[in-house]
Structure 1
Amino acid sequence: MSELKLHPNAAASLQQWHAMIRSHDLRALPDLLDPQAVFRSPIAHSPYPGAPVVSMILNTVIDVLEEFTYYRELATVDGLNVVLEFSAKVGDKTLKGIDMIRFNEQGKIVEFEVMVRPMSGLQALSEEMGRRLGAYLAASKA
């Protein structure tokens, strides 16, 4: 597979994202997020708006997903969108999914969308995220 042809700022942000994932430390994530960033969940119909909410969700999910591994990357022609394919576990459930990340020209994440399969993995993820963040996410939608 050929090298990704990302916009230079998006490429730098993606490199930072991968470093944070490898270190299992997302403390620097707010620096990568546009203030108006949105998170699109595989579970919820409506997006979760705002950098603080996106950061809270991603910081929680990195603790929920075990054996998380990215294994394929695809980029759009404009160099501002990337799809990262991953595998992980939640408890005894194995799942596969994709993170679709859209950057602006400054390299800030403006949209982070996740899709997960199979249903059993999605249900396990949904239950654990709900247990950890349900009240917070309900308040953020209000």
Structure 2
Amino acid sequence: MLVQLGPALEAADAAAVVETLADDVTLRVAVHDEPFEGRAAAAQVLGAVLDGPLHDIEVTETIDGDDAAVLMFGARVSGYSGRGDGLLVVRTDPSEKISDLTVFLRPLAALQALAGEMGRRLGGPRPGGGS
């Protein structure tokens, strides 16, 4: 799974990232209490993130386990002067599609800049429902 996900992230290719997702994927992000459910909601969020707010992504390490994997990356974040450090925790279904994706980003200033930009880009109701 990380063989496809890492290069897709580095290329900021949202369509290729979405191809790695299961239809019923759960996407968890640090700035929302409730996860995004389903491929369409995840695609909207990931597409908005990879369309500019998170850029110059460089995968720095991957750890592949039996039932979970971790991908670590560095990236520039619009509205933040330094580089952010990110971490994706990935779980797959029996077909090797990503069924659960949790995204972390640090430092807090980078996360806040990304959250602000995402709010402007997505606006309106939250993708996939919820608050």
Bigger helix share:
1
Answer yes or no: is the 8 Å Cα contact 2:36–2:128 preserved in 1: no
User: What is the RMSD computed on CA atoms of the aligned residues?
Assistant: 1.9
Answer yes or no: is the 8 Å Cα contact 1:70–1:84 preserved in 2: yes
Deviations 1:15-54 (A, max 9, x none): 2223323433222444322221111011111111111011
- 1:23 and 1:86, CA in 2 relative to 1: closer, same or farther beyond 3 A? closer
Answer yes or no: is the 8 Å Cα contact 1:100–1:113 preserved in 2: yes
- 1:18 and 1:97, CA in 2 relative to 1: closer, same or farther beyond 3 A? closer
The correspondence for 2:4, drawn from 3, 12, 16, is 16
The correspondence for 1:56, drawn from 34, 37, 44, is 44
Query: Quick check: 52-61 or 24-33, which moved more?
Result: 24-33
Would you say how many aligned residue pairs link Structure 1 and Structure 2?
Answer: 128
**Which is greater in Rg?**
1
Q: Unpaired runs of 5+ in structure 2? A: none
Tell me the percent identity.
28
* TM-score, length of structure 2 as denominator length: 0.85
Counterparts of 1:27 and 1:57 in 2: how far apart (Å)?
Answer: 12
Q: Unpaired runs of 5+ in structure 1? A: 1-12
